[in-house]
């Protein structure tokens, strides 16, 4: 099995994980079959779709509809088996697969944007992050839930670090794209997995919440 | 009057109905003239606009601005006469016209996507549904209301059934596009009208709400 | 300094003001560094990005990444110094700079759409308004706050008036594009600044809220 095939298969695993975690994020609030499939599909392909619209290229799922079929099937299965999937150990496995998808999609997107030489160096980083978290943002907005931008979950920051490192390293060492891509994917996966494993959050001094508490304490 | 003219006129009726129901969905929560026109316009043209962006074709209202004028005028009238329009019998009529728009726009969109041979067979179905419900989703998100994905209203499922049937039938019997389009539009209209008339909702066993209740009952 | 350079510099001032007010709009609710930068960036470039997607032209920040750097730097500074920036007199200054950005971006966008002859006369007005308020709408939706469409703030109406006047005047007097653009920018700035200075809101008779109260009073 060559690198491209492996990447493709991992991309499908990521698509499944995104769709499943997307559905499981909304099932506790009561949703019907149609809503579950739409939100699972949007979580899986939403980020990449917005990226392609901004890049001005055809959407990635038009040429390869497997992404749609896999995302829809995974959403359907997640809807039907959500009692099983929300068991603690199963759900944790899904979170790690979701982290794998995050790492794959972010670096693949940054790679795509570097290749077509679009708005270097900032755009590849932005598009990497957008591809990884855009679908989840869309889902939360459509489901009326707080988006991850307003939560202290350590989710987008690992992705951003990985994408920044990828673009900087590729500009300095353009001869090793595969190696750098692999290393940065592993970095994102490791950081996000650590956050899941040790239940890490964004430290309070990096949020404005902490400042408010400080000033409240000061005024008391 | 030929088929195309009739279709065009029905499209305008649908545009009016979308704009009016769009405005009436937000007026109870207090909105100014500007907000009403923006949300009415978005409800009417939002779905088709997102569809055209994804297809990579010029937005449909650029070539024919009548859609904009009609949607803006309908929104303005709806804002000024909302006390009259929210009368029970009038509002019910608007709901049936909205169902007509739903049927028209969904099948027209699926047709457009089939013609340009974009991502068959899934994309025509997805784009049909998106065109029909996308504007309403955008409106609800901008107005801070729960979107229809989170409600048990029987709104999107009739559209999805009609679009699936349209695409499947057209692949099997490509010689009868007009007949199949007409039949599927009527199917959507009939299903949605039944839902309005008998106040039907998505059955509980097709939602996750029911499962939660079951498990609650079981644990008691 | 010629007109184009001045316009460019004012555009950067507007970008800074949009990013800063964008961040300050969400810091009271507790947000981390990543969320602040994303929401500041989206407030600054979101409206223009959606406009360019609809026009079918490359996004404006691809050719000139200064918009991204300036918006990101301004968001970072705003996050770090939000206690200072939320002081009454400083925040008021930011609001006036935001009004300047509003005036600049709206008329520049309307101008751009007139030049490429896209959907006159309605599209230039719509795109002017969208460019000015689109980023703020996106930010509010992602932050889970009521959008300005649901508030009675006098924010979008000055922009709309300015854009309508610009398009109408330019169609009647096509020989004076710079003069008309300048006059309409000043009009928007003056109207919005008045709204900030005298704390003006959309009059109640232009909202549906008032009608509800009337009917409540009537029924009592």
| Residue contact B149–A143, C-beta within 8 A | yes
Question: What pLDDT does residue C219 have?
Answer: 37
More confident residue, B28 or A59: A59
C-alpha to C-alpha distance for C124 and C24, rounded to whole angstroms: 30
Contact criterion met (CB below 8 Å) for B152 and B201: yes
- Least confident window among A183-187, B102-106, B187-191, C210-214: C210-214
**Position C209 confidence tier, pLDDT thresholds 50, 70, 90:** low
Quick check: helix, strand or coil at residue C145?
A: coil
At C187, list the tokens.
């009009």
Name which of A50-59, A114-123, A208-217, B117-126 the model is least confident about: A208-217
Best A124, A147, A150 residue to mutate vs chain C (most C CBs within 10 Å): A150
What single DSSP character describes residue C134?
A: H
Interface B:C, Cβ pairs < 8 A: 72
- 3-state SS, one letter per residue, for chain B: CCHHHHHHHHHHHHHHHHHHHHHHHHHHHCCEHHHHHHHHHHHHHHHHHHHHHHHCCCCHHHHCCHHHHHHHHHHHHHHHCHHHHCCHHHHHHHHHHHHHHHHHHHHHHHHHHHHCCCCCCHHHHHHHHHHHHHHHHHHHHHHCCCCHHHCCECCHHHHHHHHHHHHHHHHHCCCCHHHHHHHHHHHHHHHHHHHHHCCCECCHHHEHHHHHHHHHHHHC
- Residues ≥6 apart with Cβ < 8 Å to A60: A45, A48, A49, A52, A67
- Mean pLDDT computed over every residue of chain A: 90
Q: Is A201 helix (H, G, I), strand (E, B) or coil?
A: strand
* 0.95 surpassed by complex ipTM: no
Question: What pLDDT is recorded for position A209?
Answer: 62
Residues of A (68-107) whose Cβ lies below 8 Å from C: none
Q: Tell me which chain B residues have a C-beta less than 8 angstroms from the C-beta of A59.
A: 54, 56
Task: Note the pLDDT of residue B29.
Answer: 85
User: Best residue in A136, A141, A149, A216 to probe C by mutation, most C CBs within 10 Å?
Assistant: A149
Q: Could you tell me how many residues make up chain C? A: 220
Cβ-proximal residues to A44 (8 Å cutoff; 6+ apart), any chain: A15, A18, A19, A22, A67, A70, A71, A74, A75, A135
Residue A118 to chain C, least CA–CA distance (Å): 7
Across A60-88, b (16+ Cβ under 10 Å) vs e yields bbbeeeebbebbbebbbbbbeebeebeee
The DSSP element (H or E) to which A187 belongs, if any, is helix A177-197
Percent of chain A with pLDDT over 90: 70
C-beta of residue C131 within 8 angstroms of C-beta of residue C106: yes
What is the structure's pLDDT at A194?
95
Whether the pLDDT of residue C79 is over 70: the answer is yes
Could you report the per-residue pLDDT of A105-155, keeping only the tens digit for each?
A: 999 999 999 999 998 899 999 999 999 999 999 999 999 999 999 888 899
Q: Please provide the DSSP assignment of A94-162 as one string.
A: HHHHHHHHHHHHHHHHHHHHHHTT-STTHHHHHHHHHHHHHHHHHHHHHHT---GGGS-BSSHHHHHHH
CB within 8 Å: B149 and A35 = yes
Quick: pLDDT tens for C111-158: 999 999 998 899 999 999 999 999 999 999 999 999 999 888 899 999
Series of mean pLDDT values for 10-residue runs along chain B (220 residues): 84 93 89 93 96 96 94 95 85 91 94 91 96 96 92 91 96 92 96 93 77 41
C-alpha distances (whole Å) from A204 to each of A144, A153, A210, B55, B64 are: 25, 11, 5, 43, 53
* Residue that the structure tokens 């398009």 belong to: C167
Does pLDDT of C1 surpass 80?
A: no
* pLDDT tens digits, one per residue of C16-34: 999 999 999 998 888 899 9
Angle CA(B191)–CA(B196)–CA(B202) in degrees, nearest 5? 70
Selection from A161-175, B85-99, C77-91 with the highest mean pLDDT? A161-175
Q: Minimal CA–CA distance to C40: which of C7, C61, C15, C5?
A: C15
Please determine, for residue C213, whether its predicted confidence score (pLDDT) is greater than 80.
no
pLDDT of residue A4: 83
- Does the beta-carbon distance from A142 to B157 stay under 8 Å? no
């Amino acid at each position: 099995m060559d690198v491209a095939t492996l990447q493709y298969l991992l991309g499908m695993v990521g698509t499944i994980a995104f769709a499943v975690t997307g559905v499981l994020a909304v099932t506790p609030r009561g949703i019907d079959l149609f809503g579950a499939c739409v939100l699972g599909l949007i979580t899986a392909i939403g980020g990449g779709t917005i990226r392609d619209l901004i890049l001005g290229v055809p959407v990635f799922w038009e040429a390869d509809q497997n992404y749609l079929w896999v995302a829809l099937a995974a959403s359907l299965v997640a809807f039907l088996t959500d009692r099983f999937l929300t068991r603690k150990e199963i759900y944790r496995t899904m979170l790690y697969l979701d982290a794998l998808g995050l790492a794959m999609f972010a670096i693949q997107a940054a790679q795509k944007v570097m290749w077509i030489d679009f708005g270097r160096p900032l755009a590849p980083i932005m598009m990497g992050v957008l591809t990884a978290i855009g679908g989840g943002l869309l889902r939360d907005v459509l489901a009326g839930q707080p988006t991850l931008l307003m939560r202290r979950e350590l989710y987008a920051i690992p992705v951003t670090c990985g994408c920044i490192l990828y673009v900087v390293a590729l500009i300095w060492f353009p001869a090793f794209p595969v190696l750098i891509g692999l290393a940065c994917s592993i970095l994102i996966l490791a950081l996000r997995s650590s956050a899941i494993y040790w239940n890490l959050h964004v430290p309070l001094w990096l949020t404005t919440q902490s400042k408010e508490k400080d000033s409240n304490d000061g005024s008391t």
